[in-house]
């Protein structure tokens, strides 16, 4: 029995289908189809969060999504469907932004009290 693997996503299609960067996130894309979302951090040389979406050339999925918080990777997911990866990117960007937004509000309140 032959092992089947999914074909990597077309770089142009992937770049075009992924959402714009919300809020304080920035979005960059290159010709390989890699789209990187970054949320800056005022407290660390690393980003507060980063989401990297790219065609899964070496794996067995269509698209690979790498998640980073601070300076450490927190997971990799693979998707075979572009609609699913777009929904996942929307969710991750909103989820992380909401979570970090609460922390930033507490930071600002703490600084003002001091």
Is 83 domain-assigned? Answer: yes
Q: What are phi and psi of 33, to 5 degrees?
A: 95, 0
Would you state the pLDDT for residue 100? 60
Would you state the pLDDT for residue 59? 78
Both tokens assigned to 104 = 């930033």
Give the separation between CA 38 and CA 79, rounded to whole angstroms.
21
Is 2 domain-assigned? Answer: no
Q: Which helix (H) or strand (E) holds 95?
A: helix 82-113
Q: Along the chain (114 residues), what's the average pLDDT of each consecutive run of 10 residues?
A: 60 93 93 94 88 88 91 93 94 79 40 34
Is 6 domain-assigned? Answer: no
Residue 75: which domain range?
A: 11-113
Is 3 domain-assigned? Answer: no
Is 22 domain-assigned? Answer: yes
Is 25 domain-assigned? Answer: yes
Domain count, the chain: 1
């Amino acid at each position: 029995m032959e092992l089947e693997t999914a074909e990597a996503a077309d770089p142009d299609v992937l770049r075009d289908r992924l959402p714009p960067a919300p809020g304080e996130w920035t979005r960059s894309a290159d010709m390989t189809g890699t789209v990187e979302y970054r949320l800056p951090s005022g407290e660390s040389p690393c980003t507060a969060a980063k989401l990297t979406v790219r065609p899964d050339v070496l794996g067995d999925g269509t698209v690979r999504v790498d998640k980073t918080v601070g300076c450490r990777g927190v997971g990799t997911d693979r998707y075979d469907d572009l609609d699913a990866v777009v929904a996942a990117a929307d969710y991750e960007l909103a989820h992380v932004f909401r979570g970090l937004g609460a922390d930033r509000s507490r930071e600002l309140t703490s600084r003002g009290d001091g």
